[in-house]
């Protein structure tokens, strides 16, 4: 089915001049938080549009979410290889398709105190295997953290990534699904009984049924030879991060195309087009969660648009 293409109007700019913003988080006082992957910072955007650094974390902060203790948790990919192209900085060398920088040592999961900006690194490895490129994260109602490890790419090879579940206090981490090819966005269904992952390289959305916090039920067809998820949708897009509507629709940043809306039964229903930019992520905010804050990373902008349906209220807010 060909999705309906929508050109959003109006588009309200919240901030500009940022170095590849991602990971939008809406705070209850009207402040927006975003990560600036290239600058290695978490940045606060005030309601008046002014910006200030909340924390300097280094590496490549990629995704962010509020945890059960009102702190902000960040999936840090450890840094990218940056290239200047057409006046914009992009996190890859297009000639070699390499995004792993020289001297790369790995990524990590970190916690940021909202009041002080203090940064604590929680995880750098799982079962002795270093994290290669943590990308996005989401908390469930039990306070556990789902996150993806996207890995890094080189001229002749890419890392095989995975889906992880970890405790917010740094005490437990487990690899739940492996291998995945460029796992990026991660989200939960409204009932909390499904976890979704968007793959960048394949344009697929995978889903797993949850039987307990951090525990998935592999589909029988996996036979132990793949990660055990069910392919919910296979698309022609390159996917980044995602958010979920209250209806259960999955809204994914489709990089060069815009926002792709996929129904819970896997139908690609809409494409909200942002032509000529790099659409990476979104979150919902407002009294009815019918405003979508979108990161347009290519142009370094954060914008807000009206959304036709309410977003899903997250497990924790600050």
pLDDT, tens digit (0-9, with 9 covering 90-100), for 128-153 = 999 999 999 999 999 999 999 999 99
Cα distance between residue 24 and residue 43, in whole Å: 10
Cα distance between residue 290 and residue 147, in whole Å: 25
* CATH no., domain 14-235: 2.120.10.30
Number of residues assigned to the chain: 318
pLDDT tier for residue 218 given thresholds of 50, 70 and 90: confident
pLDDT, tens digit (0-9, with 9 covering 90-100), for 156-205 = 999 999 999 999 999 999 999 999 999 999 999 999 999 999 999 999 99
Residue 221, SS3 per DSSP: helix
How many CA atoms are closer than 13 Å to the CA of 140, on its beta-carbon side? 22
Q: Residues 5-13: what's their mean pLDDT?
A: 97
pLDDT, tens digit (0-9, with 9 covering 90-100), for 80-126 = 999 988 888 899 999 999 999 999 999 999 999 999 999 999 999 99
Kindly report the number of other CB atoms within 10 A of residue 105's CB atom.
Answer: 11
pLDDT tier for residue 221 given thresholds of 50, 70 and 90: low
Query: Over the chain, what is the mean pLDDT?
Result: 96
Q: Which of 114, 119, 163, 161 is nearest to 137 (CA)?
A: 163
The residues that bridge with 258 in the sheet, in sequence order, are: 273
Q: What value, to the nearest 5°, has the Cα angle with vertex 123 and ends 121 and 125? A: 140
Cα distance between residue 158 and residue 54, in whole Å: 33
Res. 222: pLDDT tops 60: no
pLDDT, tens digit (0-9, with 9 covering 90-100), for 74-88 = 999 999 999 988 888
* Residue 190, pLDDT score: 98
Cα distance between residue 267 and residue 210, in whole Å: 22
* The model's pTM: 0.97
pLDDT, tens digit (0-9, with 9 covering 90-100), for 266-307 = 999 999 999 999 999 999 999 999 999 999 999 999 999 999
What ranges do the domains of the chain cover? 14-235
């Amino acid at each position: 089915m060909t999705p309906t293409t929508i050109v959003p109007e109006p588009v309200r700019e919240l901030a500009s001049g940022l170095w590849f913003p991602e990971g939008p988080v809406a705070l209850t006082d009207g402040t927006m938080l975003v990560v600036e992957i290239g600058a290695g910072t978490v940045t606060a955007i005030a309601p008046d549009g002014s910006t200030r650094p909340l924390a300097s974390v280094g590496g490549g902060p990629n995704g962010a979410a509020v945890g059960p203790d009102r702190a902000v948790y960040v999936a840090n990919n450890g840094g990218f290889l940056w290239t200047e192209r057409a006046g914009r900085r992009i996190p890859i060398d297009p000639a070699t398709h390499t995004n792993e920088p020289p001297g790369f040592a790995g990524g990590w999961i970190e916690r940021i105190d909202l009041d002080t900006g203090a940064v604590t690194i929680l995880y750098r490895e799982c079962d002795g295997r270093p994290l290669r490129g943590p990308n996005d994260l989401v908390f469930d109602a039990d306070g556990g953290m789902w996150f993806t490890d996207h890995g890094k790419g080189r001229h002749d090879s890419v890392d095989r990534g995975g889906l992880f579940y970890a405790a917010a206090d740094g005490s437990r981490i487990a690899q739940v699904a492996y291998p995945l090819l460029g796992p990026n966005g991660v989200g939960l269904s409204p009932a909390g009984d499904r976890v979704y992952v968007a793959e960048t390289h394949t344009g697929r959305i995978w889903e797993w049924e949850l039987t307990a916090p951090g525990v998935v039920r592999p589909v029988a067809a996996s036979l132990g030879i793949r990660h055990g998820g069910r392919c919910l949708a296979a698309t022609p897009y390159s996917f980044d991060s995602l958010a979920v509507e209250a209806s259960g629709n999955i809204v994914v940043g489709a990089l060069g195309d815009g926002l792709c809306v996929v129904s819970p039964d896997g139908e690609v229903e809409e494409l909200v087009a942002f032509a000529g930019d790099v659409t990476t992520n979104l979150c919902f905010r407002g009294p009815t969660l019918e405003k979508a804050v979108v990161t347009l990373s290519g142009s370094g902008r954060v914008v807000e648009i009206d959304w036709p349906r309410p977003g899903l209220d997250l497990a924790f807010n600050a």
